[in-house]
Amino acid sequence: MSVMYVGEGLVIEGSDLDNVAHIDLLIGPKDGPVGTAFANALSNQSAGHTNLLAVVSPNIVCKPATVMITKVTLKGGKQVMQMFGPAQAAVARAVVDSVVDGTLPKDKAEDWVIVCGVFIAGSANSNAKIYKNNYEATKLAIKHAMAKTPTIDEIIAKKETKHPFE
């Protein structure tokens, strides 16, 4: 039976919505539905939606291999460089640090893949905040995915909680 872990993480510093990070991700085996989604994300590109591998630095892909998918249409060189710079490094390092701290099992690093949706606001204006917030949001999403949280009871108890973008 194939396994799929689903996680989400949102990080906003105070009222700074320009540099908000919102991560949605899937984790699972290469030979399951997450592996299929991973391959499709890398092979199906479109204008403004350039999917890319998360790399710690050039030529050092993170493991489990992670494909970053854009959750908004990237408009202009600035936003593209934010995705291919601080966001890419943040996601990759969060994945590797999740292996180091045991959140992701090291023995699955070659067998699993991650599909990671990344949001970069068109108004984002700080590479340092983009990095920090995407790192924290990715770590949080991985933690939630692997712990299978929140539970349905926690969701029901908090279903009336105000959404930050309402």
C-alpha to C-alpha distance for 45 and 22, rounded to whole angstroms: 21
Task: Using DSSP, state whether 106 is helix, strand or coil.
Answer: helix
Gyration radius of the chain over CA positions: 15
Catalytic one of 22, 49, 144, 163: 22
Is 163 a residue of the active site?
A: no
C-alpha to C-alpha distance for 82 and 126, rounded to whole angstroms: 9
C-alpha to C-alpha distance for 12 and 162, rounded to whole angstroms: 14
C-alpha to C-alpha distance for 150 and 37, rounded to whole angstroms: 24
Helical H runs in the chain?
Answer: 33-43, 77-82, 88-100, 127-147, 152-157
C-alpha to C-alpha distance for 2 and 160, rounded to whole angstroms: 33
Strand partners, 7: 25
Catalytic residues: 22
